[in-house]
A and B are shown apart, each in its own frame.
Chain A
Amino acid sequence: MLITCTDLLKTYSCEGRMLKAVDSANLTVSKGEFVTILGHSGSGKTTLLSLIGGLTRPDSGTVYIDGIENWQQSDSDLAVMRNRKIGFIFQFASLIPTLTVIENILLPLSFSKSPEGDRGYAMDLLDRVGLADRANNLPGQLSGGQQRRVAIARSFINRPEIILADEPTGDLDEATEDDILALFKEFNQNGVTFLVVTHNRDLAASQQSPRVFNMVQGVLA
């Protein structure tokens, strides 16, 4: 198994009450799978993704990525795992506003090799998301949907094994959404594992053999 989550629990304090954002979640994902988690806003999908990606520490339970428990690792090992194994696509604008589009895409390479060596690949990814002509623009000069596409291109730059995506097609028009889903499909067929949380039921249908889960009030079913 590439991802194994066991009895994951994450609570937040809200107005003196403890809310269970993720409640006893169990999930296993094999290499090359395309997993979709459907749920309404506030159902705990994003928190679950953060727990799996090692961005948030769970109150209890474990997350294993490729056989290694996330929170048994040192801060630096966890960072290396995030950098090498996982590509993140978040629903908020996650670009550095003062870097150009191409610099944003090359940013994850800072620790492995010279980013300039992969500039060609970065341009190729940018072309795949339809923004080759915007390489030297700043994020502020792009629309929300275009910024999302840049973030998608960036998530693939390190050739990760896993893509964790949170509402990846949220701001996209229909045509662009189709292009992005086609891109996901291609990478998935090449062995990349996808774990996508969304409320878009069509997204799962666009992939070859997705596994679909539902999440309601922190409970995964």
Chain B
Amino acid sequence: MNTGLEKQRNILDYGLMSLWRRKTKNLSVLLVFALVIFLMSSFQFLTGALTDVAQQSLRLAPEITVQKMVAGRQEQIPISYGDKLQEIFGIRRVEPRVWGYHFSTTTGGNITMLGVSSFDPRLETALLHGRLPSGSSAGEVVLGQGVVRDLDLKGRRKFSFFRPELTQKTFTVTGEFKPESELLTADLMVMSIADSRDFFHISETYATDLLVTVANPAEIETIARKIAELLPDTRVVTRPQILKTYNAVFGWRSGFGSVCLLTGLAAFIILAWDKASGMTPEEKREIGILKLLGWQTSDVLAVRFYESFAVSFLALLLGCTLGYVHIAFFDGALFRPVMFGWSVITPHLHLVPVVRFGDVLLVICFTVLPYLAVTIIPAWRAASVPPDSAMR
């Protein structure tokens, strides 16, 4: 065999044997390290999963939403604004939407009641079972899973809510949204616009907002700008903007959580540094003996590198696997409060972890690389001194 390869094989052999000989210490380091990586990778995978769910769910969101603003607050928008919008070339359809919140006395949270004038047929694919409501004012609704849990219907299809002026309106459940869409539909109750107007007492000349569908999705931003110019008293929100907001929110929450975790990571790195830099006289003597026998500084570093790499690689593998399992089988239970927010009607959606190369690289940069540095640098310092002084 090539001498260089043989030498590296012998060094690797020595490094692995050295790891095994100090198995109790190394196992402890491995477990703590894996725990740190598990926490960090969980955050990354959870953020990826939530962003993915948001992207999937927002496929059915309106391309452009137009809301009237008065004194910085949202007001009802006149339906006549829709007629003005039709003048803009490239707009295919403008539909009014009426929505509002109903306070749930059961949980103390708000249910979002959303009335639309027509249902996108693709919305059928978001249903777990049942059908979309008819366009009449018969009180037919589709419920998100959070509302289903909140109302605790136990198989009943009818329930009643009090209108703001305390008269009752009865609703009939015609379907439920899939749990996968809970991120957006958990607190949602979708009905016809007629039912929504009836419940909130909003006249037919007004709506809460207008939904704009464009002929060419590539033109969304251009048309949004034209709408803002045509109707300066409105706020124009596009689907990509909503998606960006979701990404920003999850990114911010993930970042916040990661910063908290960095404290733990820093503690681990300091511990590793303390362990490695405070090399025992035996360890220093071992380096001295190795140099005495003809090992070079680079060989001593190679041994320490192989040892540290083996520990950190195993910790990375173990930590990332646990992170994946945490998201895939426990739906990120540890970080749900941080990532899902503190809403009363919280989504219970099942998450599929998204493992991106960039996320794993980030975890490696924040965990493996610092660990390699804090273990190799002290060994390098010890190996750089003459062997006889290392042995004194």
Interface residues of A (CB under 8 A from B): 50, 55-57, 75-76, 79-80, 82-84, 88, 90, 92, 94-99, 103, 107-108, 110-115, 154
Contacts and interface: CB of A to CB of B under 8 A. Distances in A.
Contact of B6 (A75, A79, A113, A154): A113
B139 interface: no
Given A79-B294, A108-B294, A96 B6 contact: no
A115 B293 contact: no
B289 A83 contact: no
B296 A88 contact: no
Nearest to A77: B296
Interface of B: 1, 3, 6-7, 10-11, 14, 17-18, 21-22, 282, 286, 289-299, 386-389, 391
Nearest to A108: B293
A111 B294 contact: yes
11 contacts: A50-B388, A76-B298, A80-B294, A82-B294, A83-B295, A90-B391, A94-B289, A107-B290, A108-B293, A111-B10, A111-B294
Nearest to B294: A83
Contact of B391 (A92, A107, A111): A92
B292 A55 contact: yes
A14 to B, nearest CB: 14
A76 B388 CA distance: 17
A75 B3 CA distance: 19
A57 B292 contact: no
A56 B6 contact: no
Contact of A82 (B6, B18, B292): B292
Contact of B386 (A56, A84, A110, A154): A56
A83 B297 contact: no
Contacts of B21: 98-99
Contacts of B286: 96-97
Given A56-B386, A110-B11, A111-B10, A94 B391 contact: yes
B10 A98 contact: no
A83 B293 contact: yes
B387 to A, nearest CB: 5
Nearest to B1: A114
Nearest to B282: A97
Q: Which of B1, B14, B298, B388 has the most CB of A within 10 A?
A: B388
B18 to A, nearest CB: 7
Contact of B388 (A56, A113, A114): A56
A203 B292 CA distance: 25
A115 B10 contact: yes
Contacts of B6: 113-114
| Closest CB pairs A-B (n = 9) | A83-B294, A110-B10, A98-B21, A79-B296, A55-B388, A82-B294, A108-B293, A50-B388, A76-B296
A90 B387 CA distance: 12
Nearest to B13: A110
Contact of B292 (A94, A110, A112): A94
A84 B18 CA distance: 24
B371 to A, nearest CB: 22
Contacts of A56: 386, 388-389
Nearest to A85: B294
A155 B87 CA distance: 96
Given A83-B294, A90-B391, A96-B289, 17 more contacts: A55-B292, A55-B387, A56-B386, A79-B299, A80-B294, A82-B292, A88-B292, A94-B292, A96-B290, A97-B286, A99-B17, A99-B21, A110-B7, A111-B294, A111-B299, A114-B6, A154-B293
Q: Which of A57, A84, A92, A94 has the most CB of B within 10 A?
A: A94
A92 B297 CA distance: 22
Contact of B295 (A79, A92, A115): A79
A22 to B, nearest CB: 13
A120 B297 CA distance: 30
